[in-house]
Amino acid sequence: MKENDFYACFGGFGIQHWGNIYAPDIEGKCHALTVCTVDGDTGEMHPIKEGPEVLSPSTLVVSPDQKYIYAGSEDKDFMQRGYGGGLSAFTFDMETGDLRMINQSLAYGSSTAYITLDKTGKYIFVANHGSKFVCSRYEMVDGTLQPKVIHDEGCVCVFKVREDGGIGELVDRLVLEGTGAHPIEHASAHPHSILLDDQDFAIIPNKGGDNIYVCKFNRESEKLDVLSVYKSEFGSSPRHACFVPGTPYVLVQNEYDGHLCSYALDREAGTLTRISRLDTWMPELQGTEFHLMKTMKQTHPWGIDVQLHPNGRFVFNNNTQGILGTFELNRETGELTLLHRHVLEGIGSMTRGLQIDKSGRFLVATGVMNEKAVVLSINAETGELTQTSNVELPTPTALRFIYPQQA
* Cα 5 to Cα 300: distance, rounded to the nearest angstrom: 39
Phi-psi region of 133 (alpha: psi -120 to 50; beta: other; left: phi over 0): beta
Phi-psi region of 276 (alpha: psi -120 to 50; beta: other; left: phi over 0): beta
- Give mean pLDDT in consecutive 10-residue pieces for the chain, a chain of 407 residues: 95 82 81 98 98 96 98 92 93 97 97 97 97 84 89 94 98 93 82 98 97 98 98 95 98 95 98 96 69 54 95 96 95 98 84 96 94 97 97 96 90
H helix or E strand, kind and range, residue 374: strand 372-378
Chain centroid, CA 35 distance in Å: 19
Q: Which of 398, 396, 388, 395 is nearest to 45 (CA)?
A: 388
Give the pLDDT confidence score for residue 23 in this predicted structure.
Answer: 77
Strand boundaries in 199-293, DSSP class E: 201-206, 211-218, 223-231, 238-243, 249-254, 260-266, 271-278
- Strand partners for 36: 8, 47
* Cα 32 to Cα 372: distance, rounded to the nearest angstrom: 16
Q: Are 130 and 151 in contact (CB under 8 A)?
A: yes
Interior CA angle at 20 toward 110 and 353, to 5°?
Answer: 55
Give the pLDDT confidence score for residue 148 in this predicted structure.
Answer: 86
Can you give the pTM of this predicted structure? Answer: 0.94
Give the pLDDT confidence score for residue 292 in this predicted structure.
Answer: 46
Give the pLDDT confidence score for residue 286 in this predicted structure.
Answer: 65
* Cα 280 to Cα 258: distance, rounded to the nearest angstrom: 8
* Cα 55 to Cα 13: distance, rounded to the nearest angstrom: 9
Q: Which residues contact 295 (CB under 8 A, 6 or more apart)?
A: 182, 183
* Cα 357 to Cα 334: distance, rounded to the nearest angstrom: 23
Q: Are 71 and 60 in contact (CB under 8 A)?
A: yes
Q: Are 153 and 109 in contact (CB under 8 A)?
A: yes
Q: Which of 60, 347, 15 is nearest to 193 (CA)?
A: 60
Count of all residues that appear for the chain in the document: 407
- Please give the single-letter amino acid code of residue 123: Y
Please give the C-alpha separations between residue 66 and each of 10, 357, 403, in angstroms, as whole numbers: 15, 14, 7
Q: Which residues contact 20 (CB under 8 A, 6 or more apart)?
A: none
Q: Which residues contact 313 (CB under 8 A, 6 or more apart)?
A: 328, 329, 331, 383
Q: Which of 239, 261, 262, 205 is nearest to 320 (CA)?
A: 239
Look at residue 17 and give its three-state secondary structure.
coil
* Cα 32 to Cα 28: distance, rounded to the nearest angstrom: 12
* Cα 317 to Cα 264: distance, rounded to the nearest angstrom: 19
Q: Which of 372, 362, 383, 381 is nearest to 34 (CA)?
A: 372
* Cα 89 to Cα 71: distance, rounded to the nearest angstrom: 7
Give the pLDDT confidence score for residue 288 in this predicted structure.
Answer: 53
Please give the C-alpha separations between residue 352 and each of 168, 292, 307, 311, 369, in angstroms, as whole numbers: 29, 16, 12, 23, 10
Give the pLDDT confidence score for residue 290 in this predicted structure.
Answer: 52
Please give the C-alpha separations between residue 309 and each of 125, 178, 314, 324, 337, in angstroms, as whole numbers: 23, 32, 5, 14, 15
Give the pLDDT confidence score for residue 287 in this predicted structure.
Answer: 55
Longest dimension (CA), the chain: 74
